[in-house]
Amino acid sequence: MTSQTQGARTRLSRDESREETRRRLVDSATELFARFGVSDTSLHTVAEHAGYSRGAFHSNFADKAELAEAVALSATSTIGPTLDALLSGPSPSSERLRDYIRGYLSFCAEHPVQTGALIAVVGFQSRFDTARFTSRMEESFRGLIGLFEDGQNRDEMRPFDPWFMAYVLRTTLDASAARIDAGTLPTSAEETINEVVDIFDLATRRETN
Protein backbone atom coordinates (compact mmCIF):
# COMPACT_ATOMS: atom_id res chain seq x y z
CA MET A 1 0.00 0.00 0.00
CA THR A 2 1.50 3.34 -1.03
CA SER A 3 1.70 6.35 1.25
CA GLN A 4 -0.47 8.25 -1.27
CA THR A 5 -3.24 5.64 -0.89
CA GLN A 6 -2.95 5.76 2.89
CA GLY A 7 -3.21 9.56 2.81
CA ALA A 8 -6.33 9.39 0.64
CA ARG A 9 -7.99 6.97 3.04
CA THR A 10 -7.07 9.18 5.99
CA ARG A 11 -8.64 12.21 4.32
CA LEU A 12 -11.79 10.24 3.49
CA SER A 13 -12.06 9.03 7.06
CA ARG A 14 -11.76 12.60 8.33
CA ASP A 15 -14.44 13.79 5.93
CA GLU A 16 -16.76 10.96 6.94
CA SER A 17 -16.19 11.74 10.60
CA ARG A 18 -17.02 15.41 10.08
CA GLU A 19 -20.14 14.52 8.10
CA GLU A 20 -21.28 12.23 10.92
CA THR A 21 -20.71 15.02 13.44
CA ARG A 22 -22.74 17.47 11.35
CA ARG A 23 -25.54 14.92 10.93
CA ARG A 24 -25.73 14.29 14.67
CA LEU A 25 -25.74 18.01 15.43
CA VAL A 26 -28.55 18.58 12.91
CA ASP A 27 -30.54 15.65 14.32
CA SER A 28 -30.06 17.02 17.83
CA ALA A 29 -31.12 20.51 16.78
CA THR A 30 -34.14 19.13 14.93
CA GLU A 31 -35.42 17.44 18.07
CA LEU A 32 -34.69 20.40 20.33
CA PHE A 33 -36.05 23.05 17.96
CA ALA A 34 -39.27 21.06 17.62
CA ARG A 35 -39.65 20.93 21.41
CA PHE A 36 -38.39 24.35 22.52
CA GLY A 37 -38.06 26.55 19.45
CA VAL A 38 -34.90 27.96 17.92
CA SER A 39 -34.40 31.04 20.07
CA ASP A 40 -34.86 29.09 23.32
CA THR A 41 -32.36 26.38 22.37
CA SER A 42 -28.73 27.17 23.12
CA LEU A 43 -25.86 25.99 20.96
CA HIS A 44 -24.32 24.34 24.02
CA THR A 45 -27.52 22.34 24.54
CA VAL A 46 -27.53 21.22 20.90
CA ALA A 47 -23.92 20.03 21.12
CA GLU A 48 -24.39 18.36 24.51
CA HIS A 49 -27.57 16.58 23.35
CA ALA A 50 -25.62 15.23 20.37
CA GLY A 51 -22.81 14.02 22.65
CA TYR A 52 -20.26 16.69 21.78
CA SER A 53 -18.64 19.75 23.28
CA ARG A 54 -19.60 23.22 22.09
CA GLY A 55 -16.35 23.26 20.13
CA ALA A 56 -17.75 20.61 17.80
CA PHE A 57 -20.54 22.98 16.86
CA HIS A 58 -18.20 25.84 15.99
CA SER A 59 -16.09 23.49 13.89
CA ASN A 60 -19.10 22.72 11.71
CA PHE A 61 -21.42 25.75 11.76
CA ALA A 62 -20.74 29.48 11.75
CA ASP A 63 -23.72 30.35 13.94
CA LYS A 64 -27.25 29.36 14.94
CA ALA A 65 -28.69 30.77 11.71
CA GLU A 66 -26.55 28.40 9.65
CA LEU A 67 -27.58 25.48 11.86
CA ALA A 68 -31.25 26.44 11.52
CA GLU A 69 -30.92 26.44 7.74
CA ALA A 70 -29.29 22.99 7.87
CA VAL A 71 -32.22 21.74 9.96
CA ALA A 72 -34.71 23.14 7.44
CA LEU A 73 -32.88 21.54 4.52
CA SER A 74 -32.73 18.22 6.36
CA ALA A 75 -36.45 18.36 7.18
CA THR A 76 -37.40 19.00 3.56
CA SER A 77 -34.83 16.78 1.87
CA THR A 78 -37.14 13.74 1.79
CA ILE A 79 -40.38 15.32 0.64
CA GLY A 80 -39.05 18.31 -1.31
CA PRO A 81 -37.98 16.51 -4.52
CA THR A 82 -41.24 14.55 -4.54
CA LEU A 83 -43.32 17.73 -4.28
CA ASP A 84 -41.27 19.45 -6.98
CA ALA A 85 -41.83 16.48 -9.29
CA LEU A 86 -45.58 16.58 -8.62
CA LEU A 87 -45.79 20.26 -9.52
CA SER A 88 -43.99 19.86 -12.83
CA GLY A 89 -45.41 16.48 -13.89
CA PRO A 90 -47.55 15.74 -16.96
CA SER A 91 -50.84 15.13 -15.13
CA PRO A 92 -53.75 17.60 -15.32
CA SER A 93 -53.09 20.64 -13.14
CA SER A 94 -55.98 19.85 -10.78
CA GLU A 95 -54.51 16.41 -10.05
CA ARG A 96 -51.05 17.85 -9.43
CA LEU A 97 -52.50 20.45 -7.09
CA ARG A 98 -54.41 17.79 -5.16
CA ASP A 99 -51.37 15.51 -4.93
CA TYR A 100 -49.15 18.39 -3.82
CA ILE A 101 -51.49 19.41 -1.00
CA ARG A 102 -52.04 15.85 0.10
CA GLY A 103 -48.35 14.97 -0.13
CA TYR A 104 -47.21 17.95 1.93
CA LEU A 105 -49.79 17.69 4.69
CA SER A 106 -49.51 13.90 4.90
CA PHE A 107 -45.76 14.29 5.37
CA CYS A 108 -46.41 16.80 8.17
CA ALA A 109 -48.83 14.42 9.89
CA GLU A 110 -46.42 11.47 9.62
CA HIS A 111 -43.25 13.35 10.63
CA PRO A 112 -44.16 15.56 13.61
CA VAL A 113 -40.58 16.18 14.78
CA GLN A 114 -39.34 17.37 11.39
CA THR A 115 -42.52 19.42 10.95
CA GLY A 116 -42.19 21.07 14.35
CA ALA A 117 -38.55 21.87 13.69
CA LEU A 118 -39.33 23.34 10.27
CA ILE A 119 -42.10 25.52 11.70
CA ALA A 120 -39.70 26.73 14.38
CA VAL A 121 -36.99 27.51 11.84
CA VAL A 122 -39.35 29.42 9.55
CA GLY A 123 -40.51 31.51 12.52
CA PHE A 124 -36.90 32.17 13.52
CA GLN A 125 -35.85 33.11 9.99
CA SER A 126 -38.80 35.45 9.53
CA ARG A 127 -37.53 37.48 12.50
CA PHE A 128 -33.75 37.09 12.53
CA ASP A 129 -32.65 35.76 9.13
CA THR A 130 -34.87 37.57 6.65
CA ALA A 131 -32.66 36.93 3.61
CA ARG A 132 -33.00 33.16 3.98
CA PHE A 133 -36.68 33.50 4.86
CA THR A 134 -37.38 35.52 1.73
CA SER A 135 -35.42 33.07 -0.42
CA ARG A 136 -37.32 30.13 1.07
CA MET A 137 -40.69 31.77 0.46
CA GLU A 138 -39.81 32.71 -3.11
CA GLU A 139 -38.66 29.16 -3.82
CA SER A 140 -41.84 27.66 -2.36
CA PHE A 141 -43.97 30.06 -4.44
CA ARG A 142 -42.13 29.42 -7.71
CA GLY A 143 -43.37 25.89 -8.29
CA LEU A 144 -46.94 26.73 -7.29
CA ILE A 145 -47.03 29.78 -9.56
CA GLY A 146 -45.77 27.60 -12.40
CA LEU A 147 -48.50 25.04 -11.72
CA PHE A 148 -51.25 27.68 -11.71
CA GLU A 149 -49.95 29.35 -14.86
CA ASP A 150 -49.77 25.97 -16.60
CA GLY A 151 -53.33 25.17 -15.49
CA GLN A 152 -54.57 28.45 -16.93
CA ASN A 153 -52.62 27.99 -20.17
CA ARG A 154 -54.20 24.54 -20.57
CA ASP A 155 -57.61 26.06 -19.90
CA GLU A 156 -57.94 23.74 -16.88
CA MET A 157 -58.11 26.53 -14.28
CA ARG A 158 -60.12 29.74 -14.16
CA PRO A 159 -58.45 33.15 -14.48
CA PHE A 160 -56.88 34.40 -11.23
CA ASP A 161 -53.60 35.89 -10.01
CA PRO A 162 -51.18 32.92 -9.77
CA TRP A 163 -48.93 34.70 -7.26
CA PHE A 164 -51.81 35.55 -4.95
CA MET A 165 -53.25 32.03 -5.15
CA ALA A 166 -49.81 30.59 -4.39
CA TYR A 167 -49.57 32.91 -1.39
CA VAL A 168 -53.00 31.89 -0.08
CA LEU A 169 -52.24 28.20 -0.56
CA ARG A 170 -48.82 28.42 1.07
CA THR A 171 -50.28 30.31 4.03
CA THR A 172 -53.05 27.73 4.39
CA LEU A 173 -50.63 24.83 4.23
CA ASP A 174 -48.32 26.36 6.84
CA ALA A 175 -51.24 27.09 9.18
CA SER A 176 -52.61 23.57 8.70
CA ALA A 177 -49.19 22.05 9.32
CA ALA A 178 -48.86 24.05 12.54
CA ARG A 179 -52.25 22.83 13.79
CA ILE A 180 -51.45 19.26 12.82
CA ASP A 181 -48.17 19.55 14.72
CA ALA A 182 -49.86 21.10 17.76
CA GLY A 183 -52.68 18.53 17.75
CA THR A 184 -55.33 21.26 17.70
CA LEU A 185 -57.35 20.17 14.70
CA PRO A 186 -61.13 19.93 15.23
CA THR A 187 -61.13 16.85 12.98
CA SER A 188 -58.65 14.16 12.00
CA ALA A 189 -55.60 15.06 9.92
CA GLU A 190 -57.04 13.12 6.98
CA GLU A 191 -60.33 15.06 7.13
CA THR A 192 -58.41 18.34 7.28
CA ILE A 193 -56.29 17.34 4.27
CA ASN A 194 -59.43 16.47 2.31
CA GLU A 195 -60.97 19.82 3.25
CA VAL A 196 -57.92 21.78 2.05
CA VAL A 197 -57.87 19.78 -1.19
CA ASP A 198 -61.56 20.54 -1.80
CA ILE A 199 -61.17 24.25 -1.00
CA PHE A 200 -58.40 24.83 -3.52
CA ASP A 201 -59.98 22.60 -6.13
CA LEU A 202 -63.08 24.82 -5.98
CA ALA A 203 -60.99 28.00 -5.82
CA THR A 204 -59.04 27.24 -8.98
CA ARG A 205 -61.42 25.10 -11.06
CA ARG A 206 -62.71 26.36 -14.38
CA GLU A 207 -66.48 25.94 -14.45
CA THR A 208 -67.85 23.99 -17.40
CA ASN A 209 -71.30 24.50 -18.86
User: 98: domain CATH number?
Assistant: 1.10.357.10
Residue 105 lies in a domain: yes
Last residue of a domain, one of 72, 97, 121: 72
Same domain, 85 and 43: no
Same domain, 39 and 23: yes
Same domain, 123 and 62: no
Domain count, the chain: 2
* Phi (first) and psi of residue 170, to 5 degrees: -60, -40
Residue 146 lies in a domain: yes
Same domain, 84 and 141: yes
**What are the per-10-residue average pLDDT scores of the chain (209 residues)?**
49 75 95 96 94 88 94 90 89 96 94 93 93 90 95 96 96 92 87 96 87
Last residue of a domain, one of 24, 54, 72: 72
Same domain, 95 and 174: yes
Taking a C-beta distance cutoff of 8 angstroms, is the pair 21, 30 a contact?
A: no
Same domain, 68 and 92: no
Same domain, 190 and 141: yes
Last residue of a domain, one of 34, 55, 72: 72
Same domain, 150 and 186: yes
Same domain, 37 and 82: no
The pTM (predicted TM-score) of the whole model is 0.85
What was the pLDDT predicted at 55? 86
Same domain, 38 and 80: no
Residue 209 lies in a domain: no
Q: How far is CA 114 from the centre of its chain?
A: 8
Question: Distance (Å, rounded) from C-alpha 58 to C-alpha 132?
Answer: 20
Same domain, 45 and 139: no
How many C-beta atoms surround the C-beta of residue 120 within 10 A?
26
Domain region containing 156? 74-204
Residue 63 lies in a domain: yes
Taking a C-beta distance cutoff of 8 angstroms, is the pair 184, 128 a contact?
A: no
Spell out the alpha helix ranges (H) of the chain. Answer: 3-36, 43-50, 54-58, 64-76, 80-87, 93-110, 112-128, 130-153, 162-182, 189-204
Residue 140 lies in a domain: yes
Same domain, 184 and 137: yes
Residue 176 lies in a domain: yes
